[in-house]
Amino acid sequence: MEADTKVYAVWEKDIAPVEKYTLTYHGNGNTSGSAPVDNKTYQSGQKAALLGKGDLHRKGYTFKGWSPLKDDNSHVLPEGNLYTITKNTTLYAVWEKDIDPIVEFKLTYDGNSNTSGNAPIDNKLYQAGQKATLLGKGDLLREGYTFKGWSIIKDDDSKILTEGSLYTMTENITFYAVWEKDIDPIVEFKLTYNGNGNTSGTAPVDKNLYQSGQKATLLGKNDLYRKGYTFKGWSLVKDDESNILAEGALYSITEDTTLYAVWKEDKDSVIPPTGVAHSNNGLIMVGVGAVALALSLIVKRKRNK
């Protein structure tokens, strides 16, 4: 080596390894289906075409797109959008709550055995939570009953709603008329006694009043009297001896009733074949005979002179 020689190191720059990133999709509250899967890897700065929702479903919601932030719908990325990858990335499904369709309900009235008239009609439609003002009975009528109000359960008077009450609607509903049976007025009957030909005395008087089916104890004849007759009892039909009711008998009252005295003619009121009348006839015959005898004696005396 003739002279000093400098030897310089030669450096070759290392080739940096290529970083690869993944793109993951998240269903974010889905109730069925699966998030789509992107099996590709991306270098930094490479753009990925976003996938659709596939069979993802969330009940009561509509899929709007994807977002790098969970539950952030301020920057929604739709299907097909080009997204620049700079790191491993997860995109979350963005859901929008469905607007419930307006459901309207009907309120119907039922006369519930009315005998005349018609149940009122409410032609309005009500949304859930809206209050309905209950109508009156209109011309509804049920014979023998009084209208008390309305009930959502047929023939249940435990919770009666009256006209003007407010009812919160949540479904189609039928209100049934509630009827209360009228109390029948107490009808009372009289029992009257008729002397039926009495010649003296007064028929007994029953001052009681009787309800239908109540039993009356029949009175005696009191001081009733009919010359030449004997009192036998009482009858519903005047001069009818076929069904005589005696004193103390029980009679079921169903209406105002008159009982007639039943009389039987006494036997000794008729002149028999023998008796006083026959004796009088004998006396008459004796008298006639005596007169005839006297006349014959007078005639004989005159002849002797």
pLDDT in tens, 24-33: 999 999 999 9
pLDDT digits (tens, 9 = 90+) for 137-185: 999 999 999 999 999 999 998 999 999 999 999 999 999 999 999 998 8
Burial status of residue 225 (CB atoms within 10 A of its CB: 0-12, 13-18, 19 or more) = middle
Q: Looking at the domain 188-267, which fold is it?
A: Immunoglobulin-like (2.60.40)
**18, pLDDT greater than 90:** no
Q: Average pLDDT of 196-206?
A: 97
CA neighbours closer than 13 Å in the CB half-sphere of residue 7: 0
Q: Looking at the domain 20-97, which fold is it?
A: Immunoglobulin-like (2.60.40)
What is the residue-averaged pLDDT of the chain?
A: 89
Question: Partners of 41 in the beta sheet?
Answer: 22
Give the pLDDT band of residue 277 (cuts 50, 70, 90).
very low
Structural domain boundaries in the chain: 20-97, 104-181, 188-267
Distance between CA atoms of residues 120 and 112, nearest Å: 12
DSSP code of 19? P
Could you check whether 20-97 and 188-267 share the same CATH topology? yes
**43, pLDDT greater than 50:** yes
pTM of the model: 0.44
Distance between CA atoms of residues 193 and 181, nearest Å: 37
User: Which pLDDT belongs to residue 289?
Assistant: 53
Judge whether 26 and 61 are in contact, CB under 8 Å.
no
Q: Tell me the CA distances in angstroms from 17 to 1, 43, 117, 284, one per residue in order.
A: 43, 11, 93, 181
Nearest alpha carbon to residue 49 among 89, 87, 81: 81
Give the pLDDT band of residue 276 (cuts 50, 70, 90).
very low
Residue 96, H or E segment: strand 89-97
Q: Average pLDDT of 244-268?
A: 95
In this structure, the strands spanning 126-127 and 104-105 are antiparallel
**297, pLDDT greater than 70:** no
**303, pLDDT greater than 60:** no
User: Which pLDDT belongs to residue 7?
Assistant: 83
Give the pLDDT band of residue 283 (cuts 50, 70, 90).
very low
Of the given ranges (115-119, 122-126, 238-242), which has the lowest mean pLDDT? 238-242
Q: Average pLDDT of 273-280?
A: 46
Of residues 124 and 101, more confidently modeled? 124
Judge whether 79 and 111 are in contact, CB under 8 Å.
no
pLDDT digits (tens, 9 = 90+) for 203-226: 999 999 999 999 999 999 999 999
User: Which pLDDT belongs to residue 275?
Assistant: 45
* Most confident range, picked from 2-6, 14-18, 65-69: 65-69
**What is the SS3 string spanning the chain?**
CCCCCCCCCCCCCCCCCCCEEEEEEECCCCCECCCCEEEEEEECCCEEECCCCCCCECCCEEEEEEECCCCCCCCCECCCCEEECCCCEEEEEEEEECCCCCCEECEEEECCCCCECCCCCCCCCEECCCEEECCCCCCCECCCEEEEEEECCCCCCCCCECCCCEEECCCCEEEEEEEEECCCCCCEECEEEECCCCCECCCCECCCCEECCCEEECCCCCCCECCCEEEEEEECCCCCCCCCECCCCEEECCCCEEEEEEEEECHHHCCCCCCHHHHHHHHHHHHHHHHHHHHHHHHHHHHHC
Of residues 61 and 185, more confidently modeled? 61
Give the pLDDT band of residue 286 (cuts 50, 70, 90).
very low
**What share of the chain has pLDDT > 70, as a percent?**
87
Give the pLDDT band of residue 2 (cuts 50, 70, 90).
low
User: Which pLDDT belongs to residue 302?
Assistant: 53
**234, pLDDT greater than 90:** yes
Distance between CA atoms of residues 281 and 269, nearest Å: 19
Beta strands in 136-267 (DSSP E): 145-151, 166-168, 173-181, 188-189, 191-194, 210-211, 215-217, 229-235, 250-252, 257-265
Q: Average pLDDT of 121-129?
A: 97
Judge whether 154 and 126 are in contact, CB under 8 Å.
no
Give the pLDDT band of residue 284 (cuts 50, 70, 90).
very low
